[in-house]
A = this chain, B = another copy of it.
Amino acid sequence: MASITEVAKLAGVSIATASRVMSASDYPVSVPTRARVLEAAQSLDYVPNALARGLHTQQVPVVGVIVHDITDPYFAEVVRGVEDAAATSGFLVITCSSERDPDREREYVRLLRSMRVAAVIFAGSGLDDPALTDELARHIEGMRAFGAAVVHLSPHALGEPEVSVDNAGGIAAMVGALASLGHRRIAFLAGPISLYVARQRLEGFRRGLADAGLDTDERLIAHTPFNRDGGAAGVDALRATGVPFTAIACANDLLALGALARLAALGVSVPGDVSVAGFDDIAVAADTSPGLSTVRVPLRELGRRGFAQAERLLAGAPLPTEILPAEVVLRASTGAPSRAIASTGVRP
């Protein structure tokens, strides 16, 4: 593997001159000299050593993205957005699936720090856990200590996210849409209360209800894990209350997918008996049956903007926090209500 020393030797110039050509520095190098260096580099298949460069500049053109799970379509889409933006700036992207496990997250942050990555983007939501928040704050401080940019794409304990999505507004709009269809008793699969996004979405749910002139029935709010199984469990929890409802709004699409599957297994027709709505509009949402009504969030754009903010932060430019719009998408899983189903009133 050729180093710049060999390039310089072959070109018959000093290392400094070769470096100035290869690193596109603005230091003047005469045209013929530059050409000779370039030719030497080419013929040696020279690739600059980013480690040596990074050792000197204290920074390497790499950005770390901390997600819950890259297998979750939500995060895959966000990471792709980061990657696309990063690629145009010559940055590489390190993906870290933390599984929301504090130990894994800590370890990833440590590794990212050891690599002196230029930026770390936290794509997943923060957890409300004082101990963890303290620790995270130390980590973030540690990262910033060597000039790394830190960007959040979701609400968290330590201030506003640099870029985010109108979570509350999106859910409120969906509740409004359900109300317009005639629904009066709307249930909510809220996800885990400890997650800040889930809280924002719950707040949006309440707001939507209020906007539509409906009361919130706390018994129709179920807190279950943010995944497919959580959706099924949520349906069961809702039915167990015995309280009637005609629609289920969900805090994300995975919950809605689980709910759909569980309802189908129970023989409850969607949207005949109950309407179901999700949030995020992950790609699968169009392939479920019935097609899932949901709230579309520009996930890839979220990732792109996240990287852009990181770059701006690195450049020391001021940083207005951005909130991306969320848009209701009505497909086949929602319709006008027929009759309220309760735990005992499910059609066989």
Q: Contacts A80-B69, A116-B50 known; A93 to B95 CB distance under 8 Å?
A: yes
Say yes or no: is A218 at the interface (Cβ < 8 Å to chain B).
Answer: no
- Flag if B113 contacts A47 (CB, 8 Å): yes
Question: What per-residue 1/0 map shows which CB atoms of A84-119 lie under 8 Å from chain B?
Answer: 100100101111110000001001101111111000
- What CA separation (Å) do A289 and B96 show in the bound complex? 33
Q: Within 8 Å CB of A52, what residues of B?
A: 51, 55
Q: Is the CB of A95 within 8 A of B116?
A: no
A114 CA / B64 CA spacing, docked (Å): 17
Q: How far is the CA of A161 from the CA of B95 in the complex (A)?
A: 24
Which of A70-78, A164-172, A195-203 sits within the interface?
A70-78
B-contacting 9-mer, from A32-40, A175-183, A280-288, A307-315: A280-288
Say yes or no: A70 contacts B70, CB within 8 Å: yes
Please tell me if A244 contacts chain B, counting CB pairs below 8 Å. no
Copies in the complex: 2
A76 to B80, CA, bound (A): 11
Partner of A94, one of B49, B92, B104, B114: B92
Interface contact B97-A94, CB-CB below 8 Å: no
| Complex: chain B residue closest to A90, CB-CB | B111
Chain B residues, CB < 8 A from A95: 70, 79, 83, 93-95
CA distance in complex: A224, B215 (Å): 52
Residue contact B55 to A51, C-beta cutoff 8 Å: yes
For A91, the closest partner residue in chain B by CB is B111
Chain A positions 251 through 295: 1 when the CB is less than 8 Å from some CB of chain B, otherwise 0: 000000100110000000000000000000001101111000000
- Nearest Cβ on chain B to A205's Cβ, whole angstroms: 24
Instruction: Mark each residue of chain A from 44 to 78: 1 if its CB lies under 8 Å from any CB of chain B, else 0.
Output: 01011111101100101110100001110100110
Contact A115 to B60, CB < 8 A, known contacts A70-B80, A97-B83: yes
**In the complex, what's the smallest C-beta–C-beta distance from A132 to chain B, in angstroms?**
18
A145 within 8 A of B: yes
What is the 8 Å Cβ interface bit string for chain A, positions 136-152, against chain B (1 contact, 0 not)?
A: 00100010011000000
The 7 closest A-B pairs by CB, nearest first: A289-B289, A1-B146, A50-B114, A51-B54, A51-B55, A47-B113, A95-B95
Not counting A50-B115, A287-B287, a sample of 19 additional A-B residue pairs whose C-beta atoms are within 8 angstroms of each other reads A1-B58, A47-B114, A49-B116, A51-B51, A51-B60, A52-B55, A55-B55, A71-B73, A71-B76, A71-B77, A73-B73, A83-B97, A84-B97, A90-B111, A92-B94, A92-B115, A93-B95, A94-B95, A284-B287
